[in-house]
Amino acid sequence: MIDRLALIGTGLIGGSLALGLRAQGAVGEVVGYSRRLETRLSAERLGLIDRPADSVAEAVAGADVVFLATPVTAMDAVLAELADCLPETALITDGGSVKGAVVDRARAHLSSTQLARFVPGHPIAGREHSGPSAATADLYRGHRVILTPLPENAPDDVARIEAMWQAVGARVERLDVAHHDHVLAATSHLPHAAAFAMVSALARLAERYEVFRYAAGGFRDFTRIASSDPVMWRDICLDNRDEILGMLDHYRDELDRLRELMAGRDGEALERYFADAKAVRDALYPVADSGDGRKGGPARPAGE
């Protein structure tokens, strides 16, 4: 149970946590601050927060948990402000997609006692929309939240943040900071970079018009993540640069490997290559993708 939750950032991520906690009766009051007045008023009107605050200091006064749900770019300024106004008893956690860079900023700005009360986290939830109006009480239900506790954290504090996420239905896991950034570079950052690059590569073709005209369902699925927010992805690329660069190199090596099989017309090896990848992918998503459950149905489309 949280008596007073302070949201710094009252959009989808912060607002959904507040709604979820409220739906479970797991929070008393929610106070929210967003840089833009319009956003915090909208969050109040939509019932995400009980009370808008005009500053970070006002928002966190009397809070027992502070959730940083701003874009990662804003975190530096917010952490600097927090250092001067954080109540002694407040726990802090965040929702940033990259953890190393956030922790570095926290170490730069917070005192050692404040830092000990910062339990970094990353809710892995798909986000179709952004802003307060997109917030829902069940955004995190069934989704993973990765906590990356610091050596300085007290086990009870980590357990409390874990319980908060569990209250909204999330499956909480723990990784260390570097491992989180490495795994997410592979699983999320690299695919996003590859999708953005795919759309750019095709847009650069002279036959751009025909290319997109004849794109089918597979292309649509493949490039969906290239519709993601450019500012957020700029920040992720800057904040997790080294890991993503490593993954890009790893991916390029893999493309070269496939290219070689094709160049050498090695049908047997190509079939094995595709079958191995398909086996991995089908094991990850066993049934759900086959739609109506008719037998013989792997994912769509088999070919276009």
Which parts of 245-264 interact with its own copies (CB under 8 A)? 245, 247-259, 262-263
From the list 112, 128, 142, 156, which residue makes contact with its own copies (rule: CB under 8 A)? 128
Decide whether 85 or 300 has the Cβ nearer to its own copies.
300
Q: In sequence order, which residues have a C-beta less than 8 Å from that of residue 142 and are 6 or more positions away?
A: 169, 170, 171
Decide whether 159 or 215 has the Cβ nearer to its own copies.
215
Length of the chain: 304
For residue 93, the minimal CB distance to its own copies (Å) is 17
The CB-side HSE value for 71 (13 A sphere, CA atoms) comes to 14
Residue by residue, DSSP assigns 124-161 as E---S--SGGG--TTTTTT-EEEE---TTS-HHHHHHH
Query: Segment contacting its own copies (CB under 8 A): 21-29, 57-65, 84-92, 175-183?
Result: 175-183
38 is an interface residue for its own copies by CB under 8 A: no
Q: In sequence order, which residues have a C-beta less than 8 Å from that of residue 196 and are 6 or more positions away?
A: 226, 233
274 is an interface residue for its own copies by CB under 8 A: yes
231 is an interface residue for its own copies by CB under 8 A: yes
For residue 163, the minimal CB distance to its own copies (Å) is 21
61 is an interface residue for its own copies by CB under 8 A: no
For residue 50, the minimal CB distance to its own copies (Å) is 23
For residue 2, the minimal CB distance to its own copies (Å) is 25
For residue 285, the minimal CB distance to its own copies (Å) is 6
> In angstroms, rounded to a whole number, what is the distance separating the alpha carbons of residues 60 and 89?
11
For residue 191, the minimal CB distance to its own copies (Å) is 5
For residue 197, the minimal CB distance to its own copies (Å) is 5
Decide whether 2 or 78 has the Cβ nearer to its own copies.
78
Reduce the DSSP state of residue 144 to 3 states and report it.
Answer: strand
Residue with the two structure tokens 């795994």:
183
SS3 content of the chain, % helix, strand, coil (to 5): 55, 10, 30
Reduce the DSSP state of residue 204 to 3 states and report it.
Answer: coil
45 is an interface residue for its own copies by CB under 8 A: no
What DSSP designation does 188 have?
I
27-33 and 2-8 as β-strands: parallel, antiparallel, unpaired? parallel
Q: Which parts of 192-211 interact with its own copies (CB under 8 A)?
A: 192-205, 207, 210-211
191 is an interface residue for its own copies by CB under 8 A: yes
> In angstroms, rounded to a whole number, what is the distance separating the alpha carbons of residues 212 and 132?
33
**Bridge partners (DSSP) listed for residue 5:** 30, 65
Of the candidates 74, 120, 58, 57, the residue with the CA atom closest to the CA atom of residue 232: 74
80 is an interface residue for its own copies by CB under 8 A: no
Query: Segment contacting its own copies (CB under 8 A): 24-32, 56-64, 154-162, 223-231?
Result: 223-231
> In angstroms, rounded to a whole number, what is the distance separating the alpha carbons of residues 255 and 46?
47
Query: Segment contacting its own copies (CB under 8 A): 50-58, 111-119, 159-167, 287-295?
Result: 287-295
Task: Write out the two tokens for 69.
Answer: 């749900």
From the list 126, 142, 151, 155, which residue makes contact with its own copies (rule: CB under 8 A)? 126
